Amino acid sequence: MNKIHIGIILRVLGILLCFEALFMFIPTIVSFFYQEPDRWAFLISSIVTLTIGGTLAYRLRNCRQPMGRRDGILLGTVVWIVFALMGMLPFLSICNSFTDAIFETVSAATTTGASIFKNIDYLPHGILLWRSILQWIGGIGIILFTVAVLPMLNHRGGMILLSTEVSGIGQYKLSPRINQTAMKLWLCYFIFTIILCMLLYAGPMTFFDAVCHSLSTMATGGFSTHNESIGYFHSAYIDYVITIFTFIGGINFAIIYRTVMSDHTFIFRTEQVKWYTNLIIVCTIVFTIGLYTQGTYGSIEQSFRNALFQVCSVITSTGFSTCNTLDWGPFYSLIMLMLMFFGACAGSTSGGAKIDRMVILTKNARNEFNRVLYPNVIRPVLYNGKALSHETVSKILAFTIMYVIVWIMGAVILTLQGANMGEAVYGSLSALSNMGIGIGSDAGGFYSDISLGAKWTLMALMIIGRLEVFTAIIIFMPLFWKKS
């Protein structure tokens, strides 16, 4: 089981590329409907992706080895790279370089939402839709989708794959078979997307805008069809609807599914949801009082609406905006930086270190203070009413340390690429937490104007953050390739 089976990895990649090609045909049809110049680029890209994927899947159809841990880890990383390489083909028709095309694709697939385009309003419909589709697929997870549609990953291989994308504290098994669990999560994700699309279309949005924003919102990705993001619509209705669904996107979908289908009070008993909700409430109240008293907005309702929207957008790493938050002042920017680091619940579509880990580390720190006074007392860390093992707490501590180290290293590399300290610190965390907001009101201008090396650095941070650090880094260690 320590041997890496390249055949089964390439077969799964081939099947996945076939599905990516099918998704790519959707914006192809839209491009032909609007008679846009990129329609042939979409058609050719779809055919190329389908040909490569179909060839791999067919030629390796007899590869049926059981997937080991190394196979799952390697596939869990490579799949994002291959998915991005094929997904970027349509972008080559409008981007200035290969780097810009792959940057936009990686940003979309990892739901980061950082864009190199300065004038989003003038992008073709096919490109706008493809960006949102990429975010929607990457939101719930490419790996989760793979496990859901491939019965051959129903046993140990599927569980290993799922663990590369969903942290252990975020996993809830909804069915005895792992692919049934994955399918239920995707069904929940799909239904919420449909509901949101209908609600947005009922407001001042065109059907096309409603589709794109519903895909990006449920993925907590943040790609909009307009430069002004959600602020373009100037609608309190749209603000509140998207706020509600970004909040939902920050909750573990397994918790939502179990609450709706069986245990209707389960969501209210889960500790991560309580902390997640309370943190949003406290920050919203503080922001509302501050914005209203300093006269940023003329009414308490407008102050509350903008505060709630931005808090939910940042903590879920969505990145939508209704205004330029830099106008609020440094205090609010610092709090949002903290929320960006924390993130929402594990097992959700959001990025960040995850609120679950922060809660557990806080409880562990409290126990350490107690041990100073009572060194002989053994007090376990309780989470959702259960005592966590020392191994689990150690893993969470190691993850958090590695997360901070990667953040700092990313910032250092960005300074070497010409970014100032503020841009480097903010940009590194924004990419690692899959947030995607740049420095300044013109986020697209920030990402399009940075150096070539900085773009590749940010792309690496996006993938590392989406794969929760360890999965992305371990394949570069000699230990991973050593036979034992």
pLDDT digits (tens, 9 = 90+) for 217-240: 999 988 999 988 999 999 999 999
What is the average pLDDT score of the chain?
A: 85
Sign (positive/negative) of CA torsion 171, 172, 173, 174?
A: negative
Q: How many CB atoms lie within 10 A of CB 260?
A: 13
**Predicted pLDDT at 438:** 62
Neighbouring C-alpha atoms within 13 Å toward the C-beta of 45? 28
User: How big is the chain by its Cα radius of gyration, in Å?
Assistant: 22
Backbone angles phi, psi at 387, to 5 degrees: -80, 125
**Predicted pLDDT at 444:** 44
Q: How many CB atoms lie within 10 A of CB 289?
A: 14
Q: What is the rounded average pLDDT of the residues 442-463? A: 80
Q: Answer with the residue of higher pLDDT: 468 or 206.
A: 206
User: Parallel, antiparallel, or unpaired: how do β-strands 386-388 and 381-383 relate?
Assistant: antiparallel
| Helix residue spans in 352-469 (DSSP H) | 355-373, 390-416, 421-432, 443-449, 452-466
Please give the Cα distance from 399 to 286 (Å, whole number).
30
Q: What is the DSSP letter of 38?
A: T
Q: What is the rounded average pLDDT of the residues 403-412? A: 94
Q: Answer with the residue of higher pLDDT: 165 or 3.
A: 3
CA 188, 192, 194: angle at the middle one, nearest 5? 120
Q: What is the rounded average pLDDT of the residues 143-159? A: 57
Q: Does position 175 have pLDDT exceeding 90, yes or no?
A: no
Please give the Cα distance from 65 to 242 (Å, whole number).
44
Sign (positive/negative) of CA torsion 282, 288, 294, 296?
A: positive
Q: Does position 49 have pLDDT exceeding 70, yes or no?
A: yes
Backbone angles phi, psi at 386, to 5 degrees: -120, 145
Residue 156's pLDDT band, with cuts at 50, 70 and 90, is low
Please give the Cα distance from 318 to 111 (Å, whole number).
8
Q: Answer with the residue of higher pLDDT: 484 or 99.
A: 99
Q: Does position 483 have pLDDT exceeding 80, yes or no?
A: no
Q: Answer with the residue of higher pLDDT: 55 or 380.
A: 55
Residue 478's pLDDT band, with cuts at 50, 70 and 90, is confident
Strands (E), 91-203: none
> Looking at 5-9, 199-203, 262-266, 437-441, which range is the least confident one?
437-441
Element (H, E) at 386: strand 386-388
**Predicted pLDDT at 440:** 46
3-state DSSP assignment of residue 383: strand
**Predicted pLDDT at 414:** 92
Q: Choose among 286, 264, 293, 274: nearest CA to 335.
A: 286
**Predicted pLDDT at 280:** 96
Q: Does position 245 have pLDDT exceeding 60, yes or no?
A: yes
Model's pTM, two decimal places?
0.90
